[in-house]
Every structure is written in structure tokens, then in C-alpha cells.
Structure 1
Amino acid sequence: MAQDRVEAVERALTVMEAFDTPRDSLSLAELADATALYKSTLLRLLGSLERFDYVQRDGRGRYRLGTTPARLGRRHAPSRQLADLVMPTLDALCRQTGETAALLALVGNDVECRLSVLPESDLRHTLRPGQHWQRQGDTPSLTLPGGRMLCQALPDTAYWLSLSGPQGRLPAREARRALQDAVAQLHHHELQDYPP
């Protein structure tokens, strides 16, 4: 009903809808074109959305989705079930190796961290659910200055398990063996029932 509308909320939701695009980030001008909102109005809305981490602004002044939409999306029943299934394996992987263990989803050339477990060490790769990047090469590995990320595909799914941490502390052979064991543990579950 018309009296139930809140214009500011609808404008903010219009901004959020603009991010339903294959592009990783959008400029203020691109957002203005997509939403038909004035840039001054957009800046106010984006400021509020940024404070609650619905959007993030990078060093070039471009906007992308923040981590809050992914965090809220994980409250949806299929995502909770996926987390219940995978988190024990990630916990064990992190404890075994002392490094960051994560479940990554690959959609086209975009990679998104869906779940992660961080080690207690202060020197670690801090990878959080909702972080995303473009795939470079055959695996969804992220280039880490002074660090390493190793990934192992979960067969018949768009998901990968990863281990990441400081380069000198993450021996490739041991990490690959741990990833292969974790994938074998998860493989008998029906992960293809949880599309990314």
C-alpha cells in the first residue's frame, strides 16, 4: 500500500539492486545511471550503506558489495545447512595446519569466500566470508604478498577448499595433503545440492 512506503529505504534498496551485475565494482556515475538518482543523493545513501558494511568503497572511489549481504544470506536455511556440513571440516583443517581454512565459491570468473576459520596466530591471512575477487588462472587462489593460498576443488561442485597463510609457514606438500584429505571427507556429502 502507498502509505507503507518509506522513500529513503526504497532508494537505498534501489542502490543495492544496482549491484546485481557481473561487474565487481561500480563508480558513482555508473550507480547514478543504474538508479536514476542524483549523485548527491547517492553519496548520502552510500555513506549510510557503507557504515553498515552493505557496500565498501575502494581506493579508486569505486563501490562494491560489503560483507553484510553475504553474512545475512548465510542465515538462509540452505546456507546454514551448508555451514553445518562444512564448518567441522574447516575447523579441523585450521587446527591441523595452523592456517586459515576456507570454503570458496566460484561463479564464472568471480570467487567469493563463503566460510572461513582463522587460526589464533596474530600472523595470519585474514579471510572473511563475503570477500570476493576475480579468478586469475586455473584456480581461485588469491595472490598474497608474502603469503600463499592453496586450493583444492570439491568434485562436481562450484566449491573449493583453501588454506592460506604466510609463505614460509605453509609447506605446500603438507597443505595439499591436508586439503585432499578434507575434500575426501566432504566428497561423500551431496554438496551439489547447495548451489553457490
Structure 2
Amino acid sequence: MAQDRVEAVERALTVLEAFDSPQEYFTLAELAQVTGYYKSTLLRLLGSLTRFDYVQRDEQGRWHLGHAPVRLARRHLPGRHLTTRIQPLLVRLAADCGETAALLEVEDGTVECRLVTLPDTSLRHDLRPGDRWVASADNDPRPALPGGVMVCQTLTGDALEPPMWLALSGPAGRLDPQQAQSILADAAASLTAGPAREAVP
């Protein structure tokens, strides 16, 4: 309905839609051509979008998407890529090690559990997707676990994405940190290598 429309918002969204393209960087003239807006109008819209980090301007004066769209996208449930590639790995780690296997994400000093598989035992670290805690250090996502231990392995990812870690956690007397570190390093390497290729006869 017409009364439900806000023209300025729709114009800003039209500008954002222009970035849904294989082309990553746009000059002001290119955005004007794509959107059909005057450059003066675009500059006002881009100014507002820049203040909320939806777009950014580089040193050459070209425009590209900022961090806000990526940040908002991560608020949804874990994407298909995470679920299809990493969840089966967590299932295997939990079954092989008998400990809680998780994928952790660290952003702005806060750690969030994105995916987790619990072992089939009553004595375990009960971790759930969405659980959060404050990171003790930039490169240490481990929470305080009285009587327990967590071992983490960082994953290689996109520079725009927050750091992600594979983790194994459980009772301190049962989980061997050195062995867990080796297992996690192998698991991280398998993700980097991708699916194994079939042998050619």
C-alpha cells in the first residue's frame, strides 16, 4: 500500500541493491547509471549508508559494501556452508573423542557458539548454539570451566569475517590437551584442503 512506503528508505535500499553484482567497486557515476539517481541525491544517500557502515569509500573515491550487511547476515541461523561442511566434522570429533565439539566465533571480545555436537555421556561440557561469553584475550576464546578444559584451533577465513575456532571441551581429567590440539589441527587442515578427491584408476 502507498501509505506503507517511505521513499527515502526505498532509495537507500535501491542503492544497496546495486552492489548485488559481480562488480565490487563502483564510482559515483556508475552508481548514478545503475540506480537512475542524480549524483547529488546519491551523495546524500551514501552519506547516511556510510555512517551506519553499509557502504564504504576507498582512497580512489570508489564505493563498496561495508561491514554492516555481513554482520546482520550472521545474526541468522548458521548458513548452509557451515552446516554442511562443519557440522559433520563436529559429529565425528565428538564421536571419536567422546568430548563436546564446537565451532566458536569471536567478535568484539565476545565469543559465540555457532555449532556444537555433544558426546553421548552424562559427564560433559553442556554447550549450546547461541551460548556467549567474554573472551579472556584476543586469541583465546576459551571460557572459564571449573573442573574442565577447552582446547581450540583457529580456522582460516575471510578477512571480513570474524575469527572462528574449532573447539573440544570436557572434564580436565579426561581430555588430554596435547592430543586434542593435534586432533583439532588435523580437522582444521581437512577443512582447508576440502573434499578428498577420488583416486584415479
TM-score category (smaller protein)? 0.5 to 0.7
What is the CA–CA distance in structure 1 between the aligned matches of 2:84 and 2:118, rounded to whole Å? 17
- Secondary structure of the residue that 1:173 maps to in structure 2? helix
Whether 2:173 is the aligned partner of 1:172: answer: no
What is the CA–CA distance in structure 1 between the aligned matches of 2:165 and 2:91, rounded to whole Å? 15
Gaps of 5+ in 2: 5-74, 195-201
What is the CA–CA distance in structure 2 between the aligned matches of 1:107 and 1:122, rounded to whole Å? 31
Structure 1 segment 30-109 matched on structure 2, within 5 A = 73-74=76-77, 79-109=79-109
Partner of 2:70: none
Gaps of 5+ in 1: 5-71, 190-196
Partner of 1:153: 154
What is the CA–CA distance in structure 1 between the aligned matches of 2:80 and 2:126, rounded to whole Å? 22
CA deviation map 1:49-69 (0-9, x unaligned): xxxxxxxxxxxxxxxxxxxxx
What is the CA–CA distance in structure 1 between the aligned matches of 2:132 and 2:98, rounded to whole Å? 23
Higher relative contact order (CA 8 A, sep 6+): 1
Partner of 1:186: 191
- Secondary structure of the residue that 1:156 maps to in structure 2? coil
CA deviation map 1:172-196 (0-9, x unaligned): 111111111110111235xxxxxxx
The Cα shift of 1:156 comes to: 3.4
Partner of 2:143: 142
Partner of 1:51: none
Alpha-carbon RMSD across the aligned residues, in angstroms, is 2.4
> What is the TM-score when the length of structure 1 is the normalising length?
0.56
Q: Which has the larger radius of gyration?
A: 2
One-letter code aligned to 2:180: A
One-letter code aligned to 1:91: V
One-letter code aligned to 2:175: L
- Secondary structure of the residue that 1:169 maps to in structure 2? coil
Partner of 1:119: 119
What is the CA–CA distance in structure 2 between the aligned matches of 1:154 and 1:174, rounded to whole Å? 18
- Secondary structure of the residue that 2:165 maps to in structure 1? strand
Runs of 4+ in 1 over 4 A off after TM superposition: none
What is the CA–CA distance in structure 1 between the aligned matches of 2:171 and 2:155, rounded to whole Å? 24
> What is the TM-score when the length of structure 2 is the normalising length?
0.55
One-letter code aligned to 1:152: Q
Aligned-pair identity in percent equals: 45
The Cα shift of 1:126 comes to: 0.5
